[in-house]
Structure 1
């Protein structure tokens, strides 16, 4: 909700930052669950989940620091740097996930729910990376492109949600 287009302007940066910080714990919980449920015998899958969890922890740090960091140096060090590092972790995690999925589903298999979820999540990882680049804090203290930050984060989160929904078990159809 915090990055829905128009919300930060309506609620203010402080409220948006607090909402992002609160939401980051759900994000990290989901990544922890994914790591716990990952197939340890498939090392690529496990590494993907572990790197994703590390990225979410960086996101926790970044969103928490955004609540209190109000000097340019602190914003760059404690908000932007962990955000950018976490986004790089997401890209690596997404790439590893696609390697794991293509090993079983093939290079492109639009009928495979695992492949679709991996591809949708990879798009989300790219959206988060775009958001991180746009979040760079200039010497003036102004974010490079606040709208792109919020849009990239919002679209990335939607992709992660869509990827999870694709993997939900389907109800059995009556015969």
Structure 2
């Protein structure tokens, strides 16, 4: 691989991490009950839609980068989130003054994120990645697990409008988004090797 190609891939991954950071902030903020109540159902769901778009952008930027095959599954997961957040927004707009409901994690998107995260952890372990890489993939895995808990908690009990676990729906969404944010921030930090090279060049 040429240095130019390596630099190009690094820029793509930086943009990918930046996109995931923005998307994670959107999901974490919109999932907080106090903020959702202040913003209203429509605006809250708009924030979720914007967050899902940034997730898709982040996963798309990582497609085709060597050792990032897990991004294909992650990208598909973001598309599921695009659909579910858009559906929640349409429902909120249709409800009008009644308020409607906020977005709840969907099972398909959450499963894709979980599978992608597991593959990433395995890949980094096989490649004996740096502690920075290991921290990033494990945080993403934890975030995916929490999104999975949120999806299970968001299951609507048959014959009712009640969720199986409103607690885990909220905590799983906020906690998962914060884990994704932490992983993205780690990815945005300069690699130790790059710091040493920059110091040596001075």
Farther-moved stretch of structure 1 (53-62 vs 27-36):
27-36
> What TM-score do you get using the length of structure 2 for normalisation?
0.69
CA distance in 2, matches of 1:9, 1:143: 18
- Deviation beyond 6 Å, 4+ runs, structure 1: none
2:56 to 28, 40, 59: 28
Which of 1 and 2 has greater Rg? 2
Unpaired segments of 5 or more residues in structure 2? 1-28, 93-102
Greater RCO, CA 8 A, separation 6+: 2
The SS at the match of 1:167 is: helix
> What TM-score do you get using the length of structure 1 for normalisation?
0.78
Shift of 1:68: 2.4
RMSD after superposition: 2.6
Q: Kindly tell me: are residues 49 and 25 of structure 1, through their superposed partners in 2, closer, same or farther at Cα, counting changes over 3 Å? A: same
Shift of 1:5: 4.5
- The alignment status of 1:56 with 2:75, answered yes or no, reads no
Render the CA deviation track for 1:42-98: whole Å, top value 9, x for unaligned: 4xx31x11000000100111111112247xxxxxxxx77x81011011110011001
Contact kept, 8 Å, 1:5 with 1:151, in 2: the verdict is: no
2:123 to 78, 95, 100: 100
Contact kept, 8 Å, 1:137 with 1:144, in 2: the verdict is: yes
- The alignment status of 1:165 with 2:188, answered yes or no, reads no
